[in-house]
Amino acid sequence: MNLGDILSDRQIVPELRAANRWSAIDELITCLVESGKISPEHREAITAVVKKRETSMSTGIGFGIGIPHASTDLISEVVAAFGRSRAGVNFDSLDNQPVHLVTLFLVPTGQFQKHLHTLAGIAKVLRRDDFLKSMEASADAVSMMQIIREYSATLR
């Protein structure tokens, strides 16, 4: 499972307004609610699970990338949202640099292997310099989704 499989242009926020990781997580969860990927009544519980995971260790992995993630029994399939911040988000990253691309993903509880596989697949795409440059130049969610699909396809 890769990023192209779990995203659509409705799950992309081309211009995050967030200045910090907590606001970025909130924005991306709002995107998942608005795109119908998570139920509005589960919003608070899912937000709490993601933030609890993030509190244990920042998912700002460096290189301008953040990958907040968690497992929950409130979903039945892997879901994700993707956001870009041109200004950068303070994510308490490992390299102390602002994050420009954030991928939030959720995995159903008990699917540890799928969780690891999804995380690895996302990281492989996001760590590519050519991908980062293409995303930075993208005009909107539709063009960003096209780039995500192209790069994800090269990892199959």
Dihedral sign for Cα 68, 19, 32, 10, please. Answer: negative
Q: Of the residues 42, 69, 100, 117, which is catalytic?
A: 69
Q: Are 13 and 82 in contact (CB under 8 A)?
A: yes
69 is catalytic: yes
Residue 81: how many CA atoms within 13 Å on its side-chain side?
25
Phi, psi of 62 (to 5 degrees): 100, 175
User: Are β-strands 79-89 and 12-13 bridged in parallel, bridged antiparallel, or unpaired?
Assistant: parallel
Could you list the active site residues? 69
